[in-house]
Amino acid sequence: METNAFTTYDAVGIREDLIDVIYDISPTDTPFVSNVASGNAKGTYHEWQIDSLADPTDAPVAEGADATNAALDPTVRVGNYCQINQRTFGISGTDLVADNAGRGVEMAYQEAKKGLELRKSVEYVCVGVNKGFAAGTGVAPTRQVGTVMSWLASNTVFDATSGADPTGDGSNARTDSSATAAFAEGDLEAVIDSIYLAGGSPDIIMCNTQQKRIITNTFRGSTDQNNQDTSAKRIINAVDFYESDYGTLSVVPNRYMRQRDVFVLDTDMWEVAYHRPYQTYDLAKTGDNESKQMIVEWTLVSRQEAASGGIFDRTFA
C-alpha cells in the first residue's frame, strides 16, 4: 500500500450501507384453514347436530301384513368451545416517528406481522395440537378448542399396543402410542375404504414432510413421477395427487402438523367458526408509548367426523 494513503479505516463519517428491505422467509401458508369453510359462532360453546341413516336390511314382509312403525333414532347434538388467541405489542412514542429502514410506520408493520402470526397460530392449533375441548371455569376461565385429532375416531389406523382413538366428539385427546410403525400405502387404502363405506368423499391427504416424502417415493405409481425431464433438464420427484378407487385426493404438505400423523379429510365437513373475527384494539395509554391487542375467538366444527380419517403413530424420527 502507498505510504500515508488515506483509507476507509481512517475515515470518519462514512454513511452506513443499510438497504431499505427486510428479508423474512417465515412461512405464512395455512393449508387447513384455507381449505375448510369459514363460519360464525354466536356463543362461546358452538353446537350442531349430526345424523346417519340406518344400515340397509333384507326384511321382506308377508302379504297382507299390518304396517308397524320402526323405532326412530334422534339426532346427536355435539359442539366445541371457542378459544381465544392473541398478540399484544407496544411501541414507544419515539420509535413511532423514527425513520426505520425497510418499513414505513413501525406500528403498521408490526400490526401486519402479528396478524400473520395469529393466523398461523390458529392453523397450528387445529392440526398440530392434540387436545380435547375444555369449558373453563370462573376460577380458570380459559376455554380450549377440541382440535382435529380429538374428532377423528371412526376411520383410523394406529398402533393399538398403547395408542387409542378419542371418543370422537372433541371432548378428549387421542392417546399417542409409545411405539411407531412405518407409513404404508395399505394404511391409506384402509382409511379411504372406511371413509367411502361410511359415505364420505375425502379430497385431501394432509401430512408433514416425512410422510409426504414416503408418499412420493414408495407408493405405487410414484416411480412414474420420479423421472427426468431431459428437455427441461430437471428431475421430477413429487406426488401432488393420489388416485384412489373412489376419487382423486390432493396431497397437501402442512408444516404445522406432527410428523407422526396423516389426515385424510373431506374438507366440506370441516369449518372454522369465529365468535370474534380477527380484530385489533388500542390498549389504554400508560405512558410514552402506544400498545395494541390483536385477538381472535374461534372454534373448530367437525360437521361429521366419519367423513374423514387419519393414520397415526407413524415413524417420525
> How many Å apart are CA 80 and CA 292, to the nearest integer?
29
Mean pLDDT, to the nearest integer, of 271-298? 93
Q: Is residue 21 one of the residues assigned to a domain?
A: no
Average pLDDT along the chain? 89
Q: Is residue 140 one of the residues assigned to a domain?
A: yes
Q: Is residue 5 one of the residues assigned to a domain?
A: no
Gyration radius from the chain CA atoms: 27
> How many Å apart are CA 137 and CA 9, to the nearest integer?
65
Mean pLDDT, to the nearest integer, of 174-190? 95
Nearest to 263, CA basis, from 236, 300, 227 = 300
Residue span of the structural domain in which 307 resides: 31-50+77-311
pLDDT tens string 250-272: 999 999 999 999 999 999 999 99
Do the Cβ atoms of 274 and 38 come closer than 8 Å? yes
* Residue 28 CB partners (closer than 8 Å, separation 6+): 116, 119, 120
Q: Is residue 60 one of the residues assigned to a domain?
A: no
Q: Is residue 1 one of the residues assigned to a domain?
A: no
Q: Is the pLDDT reported for residue 48 higher than 80?
A: yes
Task: Say how many domains are in the chain.
Answer: 1
Mean pLDDT, to the nearest integer, of 77-94? 93
Question: Of 8-12, 33-37, 86-90, 210-214, where does mean pLDDT reach its minimum?
Answer: 8-12
pLDDT band at 99 (very low <50, low <70, confident <90, very high): confident
Q: Is residue 64 one of the residues assigned to a domain?
A: no
Q: What angle do CA 298, 303, 306 make, to 5 degrees?
A: 130
> How many Å apart are CA 62 and CA 45, to the nearest integer?
50
Question: Of 1-10, 113-122, 184-193, 266-275, where does mean pLDDT reach its minimum?
Answer: 1-10
Domain of 216, CATH number, reads: 3.90.1690
Alpha carbon separation from 228 to 160, 218, 233 (Å, rounded): 41, 17, 7
User: Which cell is 300 given?
Assistant: 373448530
pLDDT band at 23 (very low <50, low <70, confident <90, very high): low
Q: Is residue 250 one of the residues assigned to a domain?
A: yes
> How many Å apart are CA 236 and CA 238, to the nearest integer?
6
Q: Is residue 264 one of the residues assigned to a domain?
A: yes
**Percentage of the chain modeled with pLDDT above 90:** 65
Q: Is the pLDDT reported for residue 84 higher than 70?
A: yes
Do the Cβ atoms of 127 and 171 come closer than 8 Å? no
pLDDT band at 130 (very low <50, low <70, confident <90, very high): very high
- For position 170, what pLDDT does the model report? 97
User: Which cell is 159 given?
Assistant: 398402533
Compute, in degrees rounded to 10, the torsion defined by CA atoms 10, 11, 12, 15.
-130
Instruction: Give the type of residue at 230.
Output: T
> How many Å apart are CA 267 and CA 270, to the nearest integer?
5
Alpha carbon separation from 313 to 175, 201, 258 (Å, rounded): 10, 24, 10
Nearest to 121, CA basis, from 297, 275, 302, 308 = 297
- For position 16, what pLDDT does the model report? 73
Strand partners, 89: 292
Helix residue ranges, H only, the chain: 31-35, 93-96, 106-128, 148-151, 185-198, 209-218
- For position 224, what pLDDT does the model report? 54
Could you tell me which residue, 18 or 182, shows the higher pLDDT? 182
Alpha carbon separation from 119 to 24, 106, 249, 277, 304 (Å, rounded): 17, 20, 25, 11, 24
pLDDT band at 225 (very low <50, low <70, confident <90, very high): low
